[in-house]
Every structure is written in structure tokens, then in C-alpha cells.
Amino acid sequence: MKARKFLAAISLAIASAMPAAAHNPGDVVTPHFAKEIPNISGKTLTTLIVDYPPGGTSAPHSHAKSSFIFAYVLSGEIESKVNDGPTQTYRAGESWYEPPASRHLVSRNASKTKSAKLLAVFVADSDEKELTTPIR
């Protein structure tokens, strides 16, 4: 029951962290899993699936100060720019990480004709209220 409440809270935090306009025609973020890590007190592992339609993009955003993120491309190709790094293209089967408090300035489908999908894995403080916040 505790895990269900936490997953519901994460879903709400993610949905409220990004304005509706940021998702149109951009991305669809679906909470997939959330579980406190039993041997790391105060930390939770949360996974999200991000679906991008052809030409879809996420609004620029920052991540929680406590969150370490691992991203894995499930299908298609994703263009990503984190902090001051270069914009890079990752293909299905490739991955990258984002250090705590990263600014994710570019996150988009590299294709105008095919969908893309990625798995985002967060390890963050269990009491972190918002994993993602739009950059204004």
C-alpha cells in the first residue's frame, strides 16, 4: 500500500511539474515503477517511460537536486543535451546518465516520421516532491 501511495504521489508530481503545453505535441510520460531502496535509507528508485511521437519534444527542464538519472533508449532515436554538454543522439539500446540537479535543455525525438521511447530511471531522496521542474 505504501508503494502505491508513493507511486501515486510521483505520478501527480510529474504531471504537475510540466504544464500541459509542454506535452503537446511533445511527450507522454508514464510512471512505471517506484520502490524505496531497502539497503539505502531515504532513497527511492523510480522509473518512467517517455514516449515521443514523430517530431515530439520535451520542454526544457531541471531535475531534483537529489536525483541521479539513467536514461535508456527503448526504440527510435533521442536527441539529448544535459547541462553544458553537446547535443547528442542516442539510438535504441544506447544510454546516458544525468548527475543530480541537471538541467535537461534538449530532449526530443530525432525523427519526424517515427516514434521513439525511453526509460528514465531516477534514484532520489524518498521525500523529493518534484523530480522534474520546467525551466522558464
DSSP 8-state class, residue 63:
E
Domain around 61: 2-134
Whole-model pTM? Answer: 0.80
Distance between CA atoms of residues 45 and 131, nearest Å = 12
pLDDT digits (tens), the chain, 136 positions: 454 444 444 444 444 344 333 444 689 999 999 999 999 999 999 999 999 999 999 999 999 999 999 999 999 999 999 999 999 999 999 999 999 999 999 999 999 999 999 999 999 999 998 899 999 8
DSSP 8-state class, residue 79:
E
Which CATH number goes with the domain that contains 106? 2.60.120.10
Check residue 19 and give its pLDDT.
39
How long a stretch of residues is the chain? Answer: 136
Is 48 in contact with 118 (CB distance < 8 Å)?
no
Q: Is the dihedral of CA 26, 15, 134, 136 positive or negative?
A: positive
The number of folded domains in the chain is: 1
